[in-house]
Amino acid sequence: MRQMMNTAQDRPEPGTYDVVVIGGGPVGGAAAQRLVRGGMSVALVEAELVGGECHYWACIPSKAMLRPAQARLAALRSPGARESVTGRLDPSAVLARRDDAVDHLDDTRIAAGMKARGMEVIRGRGRLAGPRSVVVDAGPGPQIELSAGQAVVLATGSLPVLPPVPGLAEALPWTNREATSAVVAPRRLVVLGGGAVGLEMAQAWSWLGSGQVVVLNRGPHLLPNHEPFVGDLVLAGLQAAGVEVRFGVEVQRVLRPAAGGEVLVHLSDGSVVAADELLVAAGRRPPTGDLGIETIGAAPGRWLEVDPTLQVVGAPGVYAIGDVNGHALLTHQGKYQARVAADAILARRRGEEPSFTADADAAAVPQVLFTDPEVASVGLSSRDATARGWRVSVVEADLGAVAGAGLHALGYAGRAALVIDEDSQTLVGATFVGQDVADMVHAATMAVVARVPLERMRHVVPSFPTLSEVWLELLDAYFLQRRSTPS
């Protein structure tokens, strides 16, 4: 399809575009690119760095920080390669590679690429002034007023939650941004939160030189939304990396007596943990407090409710994609929504009903926790499926027992599980834990989304000797279990 470039003949009036996208991260950029390819003029409004949170302060830098240590561990688990590893991890080299991966927090390259694809990049903080109207605060001078002939797309991401703990805000804690951009490992680090950000960064900084890393987890188990074995395996990996995890504790108050001095974290069990930095990884919140959504009848400060085409409910012509709608706070799911929304806008311009609607951003979401061991999962856990009233069976297998695992790493430790809907005889969830399991989840994602019957999956033969052979173990276990269960 021809990529539309504005010419003297087809350039719209100043400030008028077919679509205005607020948010220049990977989600907003994906929508804008698809719309431009479809022949629309698009203005992309970004208040910070073009490329967004994921590229500069989240997915990309965190994985760049984790990968070198994981590669070293993989070599140490492979006799022959193990003997060649004679030195320690070089933190300065790791952080230099991270800085290269995030373009040294310079968005020139990404912004130029977007412009070259035909988007108009407008720098400033955008907000709605009505269903098809956007105002941009670009600093000194009057606001920029933009009109959208077809649609406005909100792709503003999310913001970190800062719990209302006395003294916490005054202690200037780290969020994911500081955790992924710091240039020196803190000697002592306390992490508030046992989710993906907290656990990945705890392990990363322990590998990169922090002498003491303590994770504070409110509940009695890590990662309780996953299958029960997940938390135990991840805990063992954290402990092997030198990370301490404290369970069943809450932060009561935080003190930082001197700027740049140590942080004192007072806990519900009466103890006090001293640290040089405190990372708060306690979830995300919608950035809709000052987005102008009251002009379309939505409540500021809340996630935006959308229909299956990602159009905001009650606001024709306004779409909300990615974190801002609260469906699945993951970059890949946001980019999926971007494709759905862009195709819906293009279809409606042609006077057609959209045929590509979002049905895989609720119960078929893949995600990977890039700790050592990795956790790759998709769909519903057994607990979630049961809570929905589904009649499910769960089968598990020792991932370390398959031939491919033994060749992959000495002493490979891992586990896998499938959650099966007994009424439809299809897969509704899958979990893999172990070294290098991230890419295993895509096969399970296709099975969940496509609702492949289990009888057909028995004919999907994995190559030998690979980790994927665990699928044979899981399916055999299920059908053996089924035959032995009275009907």
Q: Are 445 and 386 part of one and the same domain? A: yes
Q: Are 36 and 121 part of one and the same domain? A: yes
309 is in an annotated binding site: no
- Last-in-domain residue among 282, 309, 325: 282
Q: φ, ψ for residue 146 (rounded to 5)?
A: -120, 140
Residue with tokens 């708060």: 280
303 contacts 325 by C-beta, under 8 angstroms? yes
255 is in an annotated binding site: no
* CATH number for 326: 3.50.50.60
Provide CB contacts within 8 A for 6, sequence distance 6+: 12, 41, 118, 120
In a domain, 425, yes or no: yes
195 is in an annotated binding site: yes
> Per-residue pLDDT for 484 more than 90?
no
Number of domains in the chain: 3
Residue 452 token pair = 């492949």
Q: Residue 360's pLDDT is what?
A: 84
Which of the four pLDDT bands, split at 50, 70 and 90, describes residue 1? very low
Q: Are 378 and 251 part of one and the same domain? A: no
In a domain, 77, yes or no: no
pTM of the model: 0.94
42 is in an annotated binding site: no
Tens digit of each residue's pLDDT (9 = 90 or more) over 410-461: 999 999 999 999 999 999 999 999 999 999 999 999 999 999 999 999 999 9
**Secondary structure of residue 203 in the 3-state scheme:** helix
In a domain, 231, yes or no: yes
Q: Are 451 and 478 part of one and the same domain? A: yes
Which of the four pLDDT bands, split at 50, 70 and 90, describes residue 293? very high
Q: Are 129 and 23 part of one and the same domain? A: yes
> Per-residue pLDDT for 279 more than 60?
yes
231 is in an annotated binding site: no
380 contacts 429 by C-beta, under 8 angstroms? yes
Enclosing domain of residue 264:
169-282
Tens digit of each residue's pLDDT (9 = 90 or more) over 382-398: 999 999 999 999 999 99
Q: Length of the chain in residues, anyone?
A: 487
Which of the four pLDDT bands, split at 50, 70 and 90, describes residue 486? low
In a domain, 296, yes or no: yes
Q: Are 182 and 241 part of one and the same domain? A: yes
197 is in an annotated binding site: yes
DSSP strand pairing (212-217 vs 243-247)? parallel
283 is in an annotated binding site: yes
- Cα torsion 313, 315, 317, 322 to 10°: value is -50
* CATH number for 417: 3.30.390.30
Looking at per-residue pLDDT, the higher value among 258 and 344 belongs to 344
Q: Are 175 and 271 part of one and the same domain? A: yes
196 is in an annotated binding site: yes
- Cα torsion 117, 120, 121, 126 to 10°: value is -140
Q: What is the arrangement of strands in the sheet containing 188-192, beginning at the earlier edge strand?
A: 243-247, 212-217, 188-192, 277-280
Q: Are 260 and 291 part of one and the same domain? A: no
DSSP summary character for residue 317? T
378 contacts 463 by C-beta, under 8 angstroms? no
**102-116 b/e (C-beta count within 10 Å ≥ 16 → b):** bbeeebeebbebbee
- Cα–Cα distance between 467 and 436 in angstroms, integer? 9
Q: Are 422 and 332 part of one and the same domain? A: no
Q: Are 255 and 180 part of one and the same domain? A: yes
429 is in an annotated binding site: no
In a domain, 272, yes or no: yes
Q: Are 137 and 184 part of one and the same domain? A: no
Residue 190 token pair = 């306390």
395 contacts 427 by C-beta, under 8 angstroms? no
156 is in an annotated binding site: yes
Residue with tokens 């030189």: 209
Share of the chain above pLDDT 90, in %: 93
- Last-in-domain residue among 265, 282, 299: 282
63 is in an annotated binding site: yes
Q: For the residues 15-42, what does the mean pLDDT come to?
A: 97
In a domain, 242, yes or no: yes
Q: Are 437 and 388 part of one and the same domain? A: yes
- Last-in-domain residue among 263, 282, 301: 282
- Cα–Cα distance between 361 and 336 in angstroms, integer? 8
Tens digit of each residue's pLDDT (9 = 90 or more) over 171-212: 999 999 999 999 999 999 999 999 999 999 999 999 999 999
In a domain, 422, yes or no: yes
157 is in an annotated binding site: yes
Which of the four pLDDT bands, split at 50, 70 and 90, describes residue 8? very low
In a domain, 81, yes or no: no
165 is in an annotated binding site: no
